[in-house]
Amino acid sequence: MQVQKTKHIEALTTNYAVAYAVKAADVDVIAVYPITPQTTIVEKISEFVANGELNAELIHVESEHSALSAVVGAAATGARVFTATSSQGLELMHEVLHIAAGMRLPIVMAVPSRTLSAPISIHGDYSDLMNARDTGWVIYIAASAQEAYDTVIQAFRLAESVSLPVMVSYDGFLMSHTVEPVELNDEEEVRKFLPRAVRPYTLNPKRPVTMGPLASPDWYYEFKYQQVLALKEAYKVAKEVDSEYGRRFGRSYGVVETYRMEDADYAIVAYGGASYGNARAAADLARKRGIAAGVVRVRLYRPFPTADVLKALDGVKAFAVVDRAIMFGSPAEGPLYKDIATAMYMHGIDKPALGVIHGIGQRTMYVEDMYKIYTMLRENPRKEVVFLGVRV
């Protein structure tokens, strides 16, 4: 007879759930710098360290640029590291994002996404994350506190397997500061899932190496191509890590999550908690009103899960992509829309696809808005970008 273990469930904000995941992962070095809406992650971690619940070196830094630099240095010694940021902080880290990826350091960073200045807004959308999209980091976008907890643990495993830094993002405020029940894993089990990998090269006075050297034109391109290969590899490894996590802890998400897609004619593709939740409620509503509606959520954003997204959208007549970020001046202003359009074009698929920009600066997204997208898809399937919820 299998022994049923008692589930350990806590009421946590997504930020706190991330802090618990960091504790479970037995992280060695954490750089802390506050920025809204990330602050409560590092506050909670500071509490864990102060109470002796987590044996880690906590570095108080003077900016986000220093925060990422500090964990770059710590990761170079072979330590397991973590930091977190949002919005302007992620922008301030930008040059170090490239360095972390180029040095192939397994850093894990949480990014509760927030909009960018100007005008100043502390509210949520994915403007910050989308600016960090092309830096060579693996990027996850979680849709629940539970998923954020699970994804941070998976992220350490993935980062250390493929030697790439990983961001775990989710909705600023709408998730970062709202409470959900979160099932916490047994910490011993998490540590078994995350064995300390021996890295081939670390900063060690007994075996000196040089990291981050200069590369002339006859070398640089090769190292960048290594990163291309590593991200291709990460697509495969992310799936393996997710299914192994599912076997051990009973929860897995895949790289793309679908809702009522089996027989859907019309689909909304989205990322993040609010977009996905509203789209699911709208799909239920649409089904009641006679539209075969479904939802596809992109969980792994970089490397882009092209094959899985195309498979999920295989049977639909038309679909819409809801983006919570704007690519100014782009042929299509939605970043995820652009990715999917590129994937479709490269695979010779031609289908009506509506780009939808919504939830900018945490503009409220209503279920009715999402329902309206389904009616637009049915009544007038077209290739166009619409700005929903803006006063024009």
Partner 1 sequence: MTLSKATELPIGAVVTEPGSTRRNITAGWRALRPVIHDDRCVRCQLCWLYCPEGTIVELKGIFKVGNRTYDTKYEINYDYCKGCGICANECPTKAIEMVPET
Question: Whole-number minimum distance, CB 105 to partner 1, in Å?
Answer: 7
- 195 binds partner 1, rule: CB under 8 A: no
Residues pairing with 353 in the sheet = 319
Residues pairing with 270 in the sheet = 297
* Contacting residue, 201, 250, 347, 380, with partner 1 by CB under 8 A: 201
Question: Whole-number minimum distance, CB 214 to partner 1, in Å?
Answer: 9
263, amino acid identity: D
Q: Which is nearer to partner 1, 145 or 230 (CB)?
A: 230
In the region spanning residues 14 to 53, those forming contacts with partner 1, defined by CB under 8 A, are none
Q: Which is nearer to partner 1, 67 or 105 (CB)?
A: 105
User: Which residue has 């999550």 as its token pair?
Assistant: 257
How far apart are alpha carbons 102 and 100 in whole angstroms? 6
How many binding residues for partner 1 (CB under 8 A)? 23
Residues pairing with 139 in the sheet = 167, 302
343 phi and psi, to 5 degrees? -60, -45
In sequence order, the 6+-apart residues with CB closer than 8 A to the CB of 164 are: 101, 104, 106, 136, 137, 138, 158, 227, 230, 231, 234
Q: Which is nearer to partner 1, 222 or 262 (CB)?
A: 222
Question: Whole-number minimum distance, CB 305 to partner 1, in Å?
Answer: 24
- 103 binds partner 1, rule: CB under 8 A: yes
How far apart are alpha carbons 86 and 143 in whole angstroms? 17
How far apart are alpha carbons 360 and 130 in whole angstroms? 13
* Segment near partner 1 (CB under 8 A); pick from 99-107, 186-194, 309-317, 335-343: 99-107
User: Residues 207-246 vs partner 1: string with x where CB under 8 A?
Assistant: -xxxxxx-x--xx-xxx-xx--xx----------------
How far apart are alpha carbons 18 and 15 in whole angstroms? 5
Neighbours of 281 (CB within 10 A): 16
- 380 binds partner 1, rule: CB under 8 A: no
Question: Whole-number minimum distance, CB 72 to partner 1, in Å?
Answer: 11
How far apart are alpha carbons 42 and 18 in whole angstroms? 10
Q: Which is nearer to partner 1, 188 or 222 (CB)?
A: 222
Contact residues for partner 1 (CB under 8 A)?
Answer: 102-105, 163, 200-201, 208-213, 215, 218-219, 221-223, 225-226, 229-230
